[in-house]
Amino acid sequence: MGFRKDFLWGGATAANQCEGGYNEDGRGLANVDVVPIGEDRFPVITGQKKMFDFDDEHFYPAKEAIDMYHHWKEDIALFAEMGFKTYRLSLAWSRIFPNGDEKEPNEAGLKFYEDIFEECKKYGIEPLVTITHFDCPMHLVEKYGAWRSRELVGFYENLCRVIFNRYKGLVKYWLTFNEINMILHAPFMGAGLYFEEGDNVEQVKYQAAHHELVASAIATKIAHEVDPENQVGCMLAAGSYYPYTPKPEDVWAGRQDERENYFFIDVQSRGEYPAYALKEMERKGIEVVMEEGDKELLKAHTVDFISFSYYSSRVATTDPELLEQTAGNIFASVKNPYLESSEWGWQIDPLGLRITMNDLYDRYQKPLFIVENGLGAVDTPDEKGYVADDYRIDYLAQHVQAMRDAVDLDGVDLLGYTTWGCIDLVSAGTGEMKKRYGFIYVDRDNDGNGSLKRSKKKSFDWYKKVIATNGEDLSI
């Protein structure tokens, strides 16, 4: 028993959090570049504060990030040394289409990723490519209002056609939008949306979400046409909700919170707007404008597998003001008194991963892929850059055990597991470097100081052994 023989062990990164090289080789500016660290970050990522370019008062960590743009060979060699079977990375849209609406792509951008995929191939590493991990060219934000415009569907389609053809035979696994539900919680960072006085925010978000859903269906269609070997997944910021008490109202609140997340995946996996969503939109006065043929597209081109990030379970209640809140993946939740928390307040719940996997597998009956999981922590390296990160090993071991239980004991079909930030990178939520997830330490701090030198942490050898034993040996 245990994990399938071809189980895809690996790690995950996102272009804007690791590449840097924000203006190199013709790359255009993107929404994710102009998100600063500090107190303005949250207003900017939520679209409340307009930030369309750099200014002198802020520090923008994505500009250089960990400079993977110039270190990728060295980094992939380290992934290979750990025995990675897969490497999840995302494409910077504005590297390939600097403005987003050009007809012809930027060859230097295409070549950059092609070299990466060739390098992966050399080591037998299967790339898992997120087409957009939050990024949107700034030109599309300024000229079209980003995903609020239907025209984005066509620009995204153009991007997909180019990359599916160019990388045919090099890439087989694709994710259309990272954490598609993030559009509701971090609309500027997640989809380039910002709001003006008088905007009906919910209306804008759901209309933009519809455009992304249609774009995702079109991408799936083209991916299958270009190469029937292609496997396309949706991607959800997951984490099941527990009712705070057995009070029926709390249970119902949990269902409703859950639906807000499932909505996107219901459309991408089942191919239609669920009845509960249509009713909810009707009640809120949200009218999603659909074009002729949209419903058919959604129905005909559903995803092949369900991928998701999991950091924590969540808690639902009808009395939020009475209860302590805790931080989580972008949005806060009610604190679960039975769980420990990370240094950033994210609650640690390995069994919650098994519960989440079962919920998703029961609901969709399609293979699952865990494409993000991990512990963001402060690491203290010695003079050689070595970090004894037993706390990270402990977190990951518990989660791998829980996913093994879901596979072995519950029969969930799991394709693979990529830990988040396998090499230290910039935090999406806070912009910090100090919040580290990696097996590989990168010498860089929150203010951009450091040599960028890479060094192995204790967890590096641990994960290598986990992969070598296909998840059998989780001991330290």
Q: Which of residues 298-317 bind ligand BG6 (CB under 6 A)?
A: 309
Does the protein bind ligand BG6 through residue 420 (CB under 6 A)? Answer: yes
In terms of DSSP bridges, do strands 440-442 and 454-456 run parallel, antiparallel, or are they unpaired?
A: antiparallel
**Closest residue to ligand BG6: CB criterion:** 429
Q: Please tell me the distance from the alpha carbon of residue 132 to that of residue 135, in angstroms, as a whole number.
A: 6
| Choice between 116 and 375, CB closer to ligand BG6 | 375
Which one of 193, 357, 428, 442 is in contact with ligand BG6 (CB under 6 A)?
Answer: 428
Q: Which of 266, 298, 273 is nearest to 287 (CA)?
A: 273
Q: How far apart are the first and last CA of the chain?
A: 22
| Choice between 134 and 364, CB closer to ligand BG6 | 134
Q: Which of residues 376-405 bind ligand BG6 (CB under 6 A)?
A: 376
Burial of 464 (0-12, 13-18, 19+ CB in 10 A): middle
Residue 179 Cβ, how far from ligand BG6 at the closest point, in Å? 5
Q: Which of 416, 434, 417 is nearest to 425 (CA)?
A: 434
Does the protein bind ligand BG6 through residue 427 (CB under 6 A)? Answer: yes
Active-site option among 292, 372, 432, 472: 372
Q: Please tell me the distance from the alpha carbon of residue 236 to that of residue 234, in angstroms, as a whole number.
A: 7
Q: Which of 393, 420, 404, 461 is nearest to 7 (CA)?
A: 404
Does the protein bind ligand BG6 through residue 135 (CB under 6 A)? Answer: no
Does the protein bind ligand BG6 through residue 15 (CB under 6 A)? Answer: no
How many residues are given for the chain?
Answer: 476
Q: Please tell me the distance from the alpha carbon of residue 226 to that of residue 230, in angstroms, as a whole number.
A: 8
Q: Which of 386, 385, 210 is nearest to 286 (CA)?
A: 210
Residue 298 Cβ, how far from ligand BG6 at the closest point, in Å? 24
Which one of 31, 307, 329, 418 is in contact with ligand BG6 (CB under 6 A)?
Answer: 329
Does the protein bind ligand BG6 through residue 429 (CB under 6 A)? Answer: yes
Does the protein bind ligand BG6 through residue 132 (CB under 6 A)? Answer: no
The secondary element (H helix, E strand) that includes residue 119 is helix 107-122
Q: Which of 269, 268, 368 is nearest to 310 (CA)?
A: 368
Does the protein bind ligand BG6 through residue 237 (CB under 6 A)? Answer: yes
Residue 256 Cβ, how far from ligand BG6 at the closest point, in Å? 22
Which one of 19, 119, 126, 179 is in contact with ligand BG6 (CB under 6 A)?
Answer: 179
Residue 173 Cβ, how far from ligand BG6 at the closest point, in Å? 16
Name the one range near ligand BG6 by CB under 6 A: 111-119, 213-221, 379-387, 421-429. 421-429
| Choice between 374 and 471, CB closer to ligand BG6 | 374
Does the protein bind ligand BG6 through residue 435 (CB under 6 A)? Answer: yes
- 372 labelled catalytic: yes
Residue 407 contacts residue 414 (beta carbons within 8 Å) = yes
Residue 426 Cβ, how far from ligand BG6 at the closest point, in Å? 8
Name the one range near ligand BG6 by CB under 6 A: 97-105, 220-228, 249-257, 424-432. 424-432
In terms of DSSP bridges, do strands 333-334 and 325-326 run parallel, antiparallel, or are they unpaired?
A: antiparallel
Residues binding ligand BG6: number (CB under 6 A): 15
- Please give the backbone phi and psi of residue 470, each rounded to the nearest 5 degrees, phi first: 50, 45
Residue 97 contacts residue 47 (beta carbons within 8 Å) = no
Residues labelled catalytic: 372
Q: Which residues bind ligand BG6 (CB under 6 A)?
A: 14, 17, 178-179, 237, 309, 329, 372, 376, 420, 427-430, 435
